[in-house]
Amino acid sequence: MYAPIAFGFSAFLALITAFSYAELAARFPLSAGEVRYVSASFNRKIFSSLIGWLIVFTAILSSAALAHATAGFIKDFIDLNTLFLTIGIVLILGLVAAWGITEAVVLVTLITLIEIGGLLLIIFTGWDNLITLDTRWLELVPPVGLHDFAIWSTIFSGAFLAFYAFIGFEDMVNVAEEVKDARHTMPFAIIVCIITTLIIYVLVSLVAVLSVPPDQLAQSNTPLAMIMDYNGSSVPPWVMGMISMLATVNGVLVQMIMGSRVLYGMAKGGEAPSWFSQVHPKTQTPLRATGLVIVAVLIFALLSDLTTLAKVASAIILFVFASVNVALLKLKWSEEARPHNLFTVPFVVPLFGFIICSAMLIFVLWKALIG
């Protein structure tokens, strides 16, 4: 019943960092955004290179995890070998990423609109349960006491996993060079993206726990279809299954594009071999960087399990978020005047973002050490 609390905490964590990203994207509208932010702040090539490679690694892990999930969704409809499904998914989406940024963005946009439509349909069908929140809200509030640490530990663990759902807004800064007037449009796009995601996900999580018994929801392989069924929807279960599958397909494609663009940006900046900075004259995409990402995604998708991949990716992103926040802190601390005519945030925003990301990362590492 405490899933909305976990989602809300994750959303707040992501929102704070998104504001830091928005200011930095206005200052440095370049590919491999996080690498440029850290480099400009600390002027330490080793540290900026580390951040860049961690981001590429996260993109690879995320793509592998989502390719796993996509294969699982397809297997629910068609009894095919999971291994061959995973390979096919990675190769097909890798080819789309290599095809061209315009074509990939069009496909991502279409799938995103379908995803949003599916989530709004869940909110609509569960509206009767949602409006009971004013009388049932106490069910969603965890107890606060010295003996309730285990409950809060579970909530924070859930928040860590839910945090993975909010990963994505940071991908936008890595295609900044392909955005018109990025200094002004990118901050606005980042903030709209994270706030929209926050509202939709929290509403869906509220509908879920108010509609379906939590123990049944936890055991379901198709929770969205179960929510629709419990709320008496006439929409066939396979429709929500298809939407869930498209969501993971979208994730794989976005992460592949992001990983290749970061590697390309690092190669241009000297943090990676210059061989990866080559752009194909026809597709205008970094084919060599994209090829490396495709091969790495295939390896991890075939050798690792979904949960492990998601946990490692989330932990790395927390470290990157903490680093981005502290980079903005240092820039703000050392500059004599605020940037003119650019989006900026108060000093307290990156400060609080650094503290909360670091605290979450310490909690995750502590949980991992104690088993």
Torsions phi, psi for 79 (to 5 deg): -80, 85
For the cut 80, the answer to whether the pLDDT of residue 164 exceeds it is no
Q: Which residue has the tokens 């945090």?
A: 163
User: Tokens 């996260």 appear where?
Assistant: 58
Buried-state track 295-326, b at ≥16 Cβ within 10 A, e below 16: ebbbebbeeeebeebbbbbbbbbbbbbbbbbb
Q: Which residue has the higher pLDDT, 350 or 210?
A: 350
Predicted local confidence at residue 93, as pLDDT: 93
pLDDT at 91: 94
Domain count, the chain: 1
Find which of 172-176, 271-275, 360-364 is predicted with most confidence, using mean pLDDT: 271-275
Task: Determine the pLDDT at residue 298.
Answer: 92
CA geometry: angle 290, 31, 343, nearest 5 deg: 150
Q: Which residues of 36-53 are buried (b: 16+ CB within 10 A; e: fewer)?
A: bbbbbbbeeeebbbbbbb
Q: What are phi and psi of 202, to 5 degrees?
A: -65, -40
pLDDT per residue as tens digits for the range 313-366: 878 888 999 999 999 999 988 876 677 788 889 999 999 999 988 988 888 788
* Alpha helices in the chain, H assignment, sequence order: 3-27, 33-42, 45-77, 82-99, 101-125, 127-130, 133-136, 149-166, 182-211, 214-219, 223-230, 237-269, 287-303, 306-334, 348-370
Using the predicted structure, report yes or no on whether residue 24 has a pLDDT greater than 80.
Answer: yes
Residue among 37, 72, 48, 34 at smallest CA distance from 252 = 72
Rounded average pLDDT over 240-260: 87
- The per-residue pLDDT of the chain, averaged, comes to 83
User: Interhelix angle for 182-211 vs 3-27, to 10°?
Assistant: 180
Range of the domain at 130: 3-370
In the chain, the percentage of residues whose pLDDT exceeds 70 is 93
Enter the tokens of residue 210: 């108010």
pLDDT of residue 149: 65
pLDDT at 178: 72
Per DSSP, the residues of 291-328 read HHHHHHHHHHHHHS-HHHHHHHHHHHHHHHHHHHHHHH
The token duo for 365 is: 């590492």
pLDDT at residue 74 in the model: 83
184: pLDDT strictly greater than 80: yes
CATH number at residue 294: 1.20.1740.10
Average pLDDT over residues 135-158: 71
